[in-house]
Amino acid sequence: MHDLLLPRPFLKWAGGKTQLTNALLERMPVHFNTYHEPFVGSGALFFRLYRERKIKHAILSDINSELIDTYLAIRDNVQEVIQLLSEFPHNEKFYYEIREQDPWKMSLAERAARMIYLNKTGYNGLYRVNRQGKFNVPFGRYKRPKYLDRDNLLAVSNALKKVEILCTPFHTVTERAKPGDWVYFDPPYVPVSQTSNFTSYHASGFGMQEQEKLRDRCIELSRVNVYITLSNSDTDIIRSLYAVSGFYMDRVLANRAINSNAAKRGKIAEVIITNYPVKRSVLPCLFDQQLPHLVFQAQLPTKVDTILMKK
């Protein structure tokens, strides 16, 4: 019998946080209200929080409409998704046939089943689209890919029942964040080399301008007492962007979950950025015990504040 309290990510995802969840949990706020994840991807941190009963309310979002539709289908119509997956054969001919089909001419459940199947049987578990937004990953050479995990899909459906799921840009959806809420940003990473760019999970990409907008949004949320946690690659660009008074940065090592070369799936350096100190001995002095949210200390305007005021 499956355990409905133990959902796990149902998709492979470039930048997925399964390998980083321990480090993220060590740095999570002691108390928070609603959990927001605007770049949900595989949802690794959300599912970990759910399994450990650390979450009561959640808003999950992404701009990838096929991804969000898959979450919605599993939440609202998981039995049909399971039935469709059970009928899919595993062979190269069927893979390319279903890959070429227009997902927007399918039902929600059909679109979700297609997404899961292509994700689990495509080359190296990549989700990648071209400039026209068309999935273009070739067939993967797996002997027995597990694209139907009935027990986990049921557990995921149960975990998502009371979760709000939206297809919305990060700067729009986080307008709903209130004092005491926790927002975890896991954007497409700044590439550490010319060959490690994973931003093509969406046709529009995620360039430097978007990274700067995200930094600005983090500052704005901090001003209204919202907890911020953000992860990205450990690069000079990111360290410079988040050299902000009141922000804290930790360097951590994480495994590459997806790489075409197995030898390159080793540990890489990443940074976890928060707008609160993570040492437990420091945290209590920052809380007003009568309120459920963090009370930020008054600070003088920083150089980033000055930049924002000029915009």
240 in a domain, yes or no?
Answer: yes
The answer to whether 232 touches 241, Cβ cutoff 8 Å, is no
- Rounded to whole angstroms, the Cα distance separating 280 from 29 reads 10
Neighbouring-strand partners of residue 254: 268
Residue 8 lies in a domain: no
**pLDDT tens profile 230-266:** 999 999 999 999 999 999 999 998 876 554 444 455 6
Domain membership of residue 161 (yes or no) is: yes
Q: How far apart are CA 202 and CA 230, in angstroms?
A: 20
Give pTM, 2 decimals: 0.84
d(Cα 71, Cα 197) in Å, to the nearest integer? 25
Report, as an integer, the average pLDDT of 12-34.
87
CA atoms of 243 and 226, how far apart (whole Å): 19
- Total of domains in the chain: 1
Contacts of 109 by beta carbon, 8 Å cutoff, 6+ apart: 73, 77, 80, 81, 84
- Crossing angle of helices 150-160 and 44-51, in 10° steps, is 80
The arithmetic mean of pLDDT across residues 3-16, rounded, is 79
Residue 279's pLDDT is 65
Q: Give yes or no for a contact between 16 and 257, defined as CB atoms under 8 angstroms apart.
A: yes
**Does residue 175 fall inside a structural domain?**
yes
Proportion of the chain in helix, strand, coil states, percent, rounded to 5: 40, 15, 45
Please give the pLDDT value at position 278: 84
- The number of residues making up the chain comes to 311
Question: For residue 6, is it within any domain?
Answer: no
Question: In 3D, which of 64, 63, 46 has the Cα closest to residue 55?
Answer: 46
166 in a domain, yes or no?
yes
Give the CATH number, domain containing residue 62: 3.40.50.150
- Find the mean pLDDT for residues 97-107: 97
Q: What is the pLDDT of residue 307?
A: 44
Domain housing 86:
20-197+204-274
Return d(Cα 139, Cα 92) in angstroms, integer.
6
In which band, very low, low, confident or very high, does the pLDDT at 304 lie, cut at 50, 70 and 90? very low
Would 289 be classed as within a structural domain? no
Is residue 310 included in any domain, yes or no?
no
User: Which pLDDT belongs to residue 15?
Assistant: 65
One-letter amino acid of 195: T
